[in-house]
Amino acid sequence: MQKRYLGKSGLKVSALGLGCMGLSQGYWPATDTRQAIALIRAAVERGVTFFDIAEVYGPYLNEDVVGKALKPLRDRVVIATKFGFNIGNDNKQQMLNSRPEHIREAVEGSLRRLKTDVIDLFYQHRVDPDVPIEDVAGTVKDLIAEGKVKHFGLLEAGAQTVRRAHAIQPVTALQSEYSLWWREPEQEILPLLKELGVGFVPFSPLGRGFLTGTIKAETTFAESDFRKTVPRFSADALKANEKLVILLTELAAERHTTPAQIALAWLMAQKPWIVPIPGTTKLHRLEENLAATEIILTPADLQKITQALETVNIVGERYPAALQAHVGR
């Protein structure tokens, strides 16, 4: 497995990480613990060293299962987790909370569940409008000084927020959605990260499964599946966005690969400090994704994709209205 550095931080990770949210949340039911542990350890054996989780996934289930899976392999991996939400007594009510005292509570809980004495990369899960980002960065800076955290990250933060945080405590990585069907980061974020030397970690690099070509306009989602509430996954939007999948399928056929592999290879070709974190619950999909690291798209390939994308108008919002407030900037 190839390795990449997240910006200028010195944090070296596998060129492709594993997003673990889907093991515990979003696409219910949660994966059986034994199966989840087996998948995580299989990823390590195949060269994955970068694992992305959060206390709120489950909640708490994700950190528990990843902690169990990686405890005997701790010296071989980089674990990234997140803080920034209150979790209600029913484990469902979630409200933004990045107050310094809450961050300190969160780090202790994460360390305990992950069965480790240090968190490699600690992200603010969403920007909290009620807490100055300088206070957040300052708190994580203190945690780094105390040896409980190694690196600071932000998630879905806007350019000015990143700049302000970076001035207090260098930001190692920004995580945001980025893929062939969500390219907003190209406008302001990628140029800023290059300027500051910050790594970029795209989540949903396969468009929550859409870019694999396995989701059609007639696809139905279970009531417990997050995608059922997402406007971009309505039947009309899926039909309208089908043109993008057709393009990917044609490119994949030319290269004797899969649409998912082309989508991941395209992302990794954008910048050497981009590390996508596709998630999966299936070993064969994990292996398919990892094979994308061996695909080198030529300048001609990339130009062809760019030209084709100019003809595709993506339809549908990426979050339901109720969650827009959590996107953060």
86-101 per-position pLDDT tens digit: 986 655 557 899 999 9
Integer Cα distance of 200 and 153 in angstroms: 10
pLDDT tens track, the chain, 329 positions: 999 999 999 999 999 999 999 998 877 688 999 999 999 999 999 999 999 999 999 899 999 999 999 999 999 999 999 999 998 665 555 789 999 999 999 999 999 999 999 999 999 999 999 999 999 999 999 999 999 999 999 999 999 999 999 999 999 999 999 999 999 999 999 999 999 999 999 999 999 999 999 999 899 998 888 899 999 999 999 998 998 999 899 999 999 999 999 999 999 999 999 999 999 999 999 999 999 999 999 999 899 888 888 888 889 898 887 776 556 67
Element (H, E) at 13: strand 12-14
Q: Is 57 among the catalytic positions?
A: yes
Per-residue CA distances from 46 to 40, 67, 202, 203 (Å):
10, 19, 21, 20
Q: What are the φ and ψ backbone dihedral angles of 287, each rounded to 5 degrees?
A: -65, -35
Catalytic residue among 27, 57, 123, 178: 57
Integer Cα distance of 28 and 23 in angstroms: 9
| pLDDT at position 320 | 84
| pLDDT at position 201 | 98
Task: Encode 97-138 in three state secondary structure.
Answer: CCCHHHHHHHHHHHHHHHCCCCEEEEEECCCCCCCCHHHHHH
| pLDDT at position 324 | 65
| pLDDT at position 310 | 87
Shortest CA distance to 21 belongs to which of 2, 34, 40, 47?
40
| pLDDT at position 223 | 86
If phi > 0 it is left, if psi is from -120 to 50 it is alpha, else beta; for residue 19 that is beta
The one-letter amino acid at 207: G
| pLDDT at position 309 | 87
Domains and CATH numbers, the chain: 3-326 (3.20.20.100)
| pLDDT at position 25 | 80
| pLDDT at position 184 | 94
